Structure 1
Amino acid sequence: MGTPNGTAGHTRPGSPMPGSPMAWGATQAEWDRNYPSDDGLRPGWLRMVRAVPCAAPPDAVWPWLCQLQVAPYSYDLLDNRGRRSPRHLTPGLTDLTVGQDFMTIFQLEEFVTRSRLTLSVKPGGPTRLFGAGWITYAVEPDGRGSRLVGALAFPERRGVLGAVSNALLPWGDLVMMRKQLLTLADLAAR
C-alpha cells in the first residue's frame, strides 16, 4: 500500500477508553484486530477505529460500501458540496479495481469482495492537503446482522499547527465517520 509492511500493531496504543474518539463504537476485539490500513502504521501515527451495528447481513452492506465511489455519505453540505449522497444503489459499483477513486480524495488500495476495502489518500493535491493516510472499511457478520467497521491510520503532524490538528483530527473524524457509518448501515437495512 505504498508503505513498508510488517509495522502493523507496533504503534498501537493500549486499550482505548470506551467511547473515546480513538475507538468510538468499537468492541475490544475490533480494536485489537489488524486491518490492512494498519500496514502503514509507524511510530507517532494516529490509529482510530469506529464501528456501528447494522440490522442487514454483510451481503446487503457491501454494495453500500462500494457506493463510497460516488459520495461520502456523511454531512453532504460539508463534504459533498451540498449534493445529497444517493439513496439508491448505482449499478456496477461492486465491480472493483485497485486504483479506483473513492470519495474524491481516496483511491482503492485493496479489497476482499463482500468483506472489506482499503483506501489511501490520493497522491498529489489530496496528500499535500490532508497528508498520507489509510482507511479500511470492513463488514463482519454478527448474531443480529453485521458490524460495519472503519479503521484509520494517519501520521501525526509536526509543529504548533500540527499539534492542534493532531488534537482535533480524532474528534473531527469521529463526527464525520460516525454519520457516514450510521447512514450506510441505515441504507443497507432498508
Structure 2
Amino acid sequence: MTPGQVWGATPAELDAQLPCDSMLSGTVTVCDRSIAVQAEPWLVFAWLCQLRATPYSYDRIRNLGRPSPSDRDPALSELAVGQEFMGAFELVDFTPDEHITLLARPRVAVTYAVHRHELPGANAPVSTRLHVRVRFAGPRVIVIPVVFGDFIMMRKQLLTLKELAEREARVVV
C-alpha cells in the first residue's frame, strides 16, 4: 500500500460503495481518507460545497497565496451538474447533504461523502464522518507519487473543513 492511500478510514468506510466507484477503467489506485467532524451532516456538506471556490488546502501552493475564505457563501451550496470545483474538477453527481462526486478527466474521480456518526452516550455531541474516496487511473509507477502528494494536500483540506464546520456548529448551537 502506498503511504497516504488510507488515512482515518474505518473498515466499513473502506468497504462502502460510493458513486465514484463506477468511474474510470483500466488500472486504478483507490484512496480512502476520513475524518470525524463535530457538526451536523448538512453543515459539513455545506462546507464541501465551498470547494467550488477554493480547495481549502495549502493556500500558498494551491490557491496562489490567496487565503481561503473562513465564512461560507450560501450561494455556493446551489449545486448543478457540470459546475467547476477547485479549478480542476467537474461536478458529475451529488445528493444534497450526502455526497458530491467530481471528475477530472481522464484520470481522477472523487466522492466526498458525509454521514451521521452516532457516538455512545445520551449527551454525546453530534458527529459526522467525512469520507473521501479518490480513484486515480494510470500505471502505479506514475500514480504512486501523485497519491502521496494528494494525501498531503487532502489531509490539510479535511482538517481545514473540519475546523471551519466545527467553528460554525459552535455558533449555530
TM-score scaled by structure 1?
Answer: 0.79
Q: Report the count of equivalent residues.
A: 160
Alpha-carbon distance in 2 for matches of 1:135, 1:167:
17
What SS does the corresponding residue of 1:154 show, helix, strand or coil? strand
Q: Which residue of 2 aligns with 1:140?
A: 115
Superposed CA RMSD in Å reads: 1.6
Q: Is the 8 A contact 2:93 2:101 kept in 1?
A: yes
Is 86-95 or 39-48 further displaced after alignment?
39-48
Where has structure 1 moved over 4 Å in runs of 4 or more? none
Pairwise CA distance, 1:166: 2.0
Trace 1:148-159 onto structure 2 (pairs within 5 A).
148-157=130-139
Pairwise CA distance, 1:170: 1.8
Match of 1:39 among 22, 45, 50: 22
Match of 2:49 among 66, 76, 79: 66
Pairwise CA distance, 1:41: 4.3
CA distances 1:122-161 after superposition (whole Å, capped 9, x unpaired): xxxxx4xxx521110011110241011110111124xxxx
Match of 1:90 among 73, 76, 84: 73
Amino acid paired to 2:79: L
Amino acid paired to 2:161: L
What SS does the corresponding residue of 1:183 show, helix, strand or coil? helix
Q: Is the 8 A contact 2:43 2:165 kept in 1?
A: yes
Alpha-carbon distance in 2 for matches of 1:168, 1:176:
13
Q: Which residue of 2 aligns with 1:180?
A: 157
Alpha-carbon distance in 2 for matches of 1:135, 1:116:
10
Q: Which residue of 2 aligns with 1:117?
A: 100
Q: Is the 8 A contact 2:24 2:109 kept in 1?
A: no
What percentage of aligned pairs have identical amino acids? 39
Alpha-carbon distance in 1 for matches of 2:103, 2:144:
21
CA distances 1:91-112 after superposition (whole Å, capped 9, x unpaired): 3111110000100011100000
Q: Which residue of 1 aligns with 2:8?
A: 25
TM-score scaled by structure 2?
Answer: 0.87
- Bigger RCO of structures 1 and 2 (CA < 8 A, at least 6 apart): 2
Q: Which residue of 2 aligns with 1:78?
A: 61
Amino acid paired to 1:188: A
Structure 1: 5+ residue runs without aligned partners? 1-15, 122-126
What SS does the corresponding residue of 2:102 show, helix, strand or coil? strand
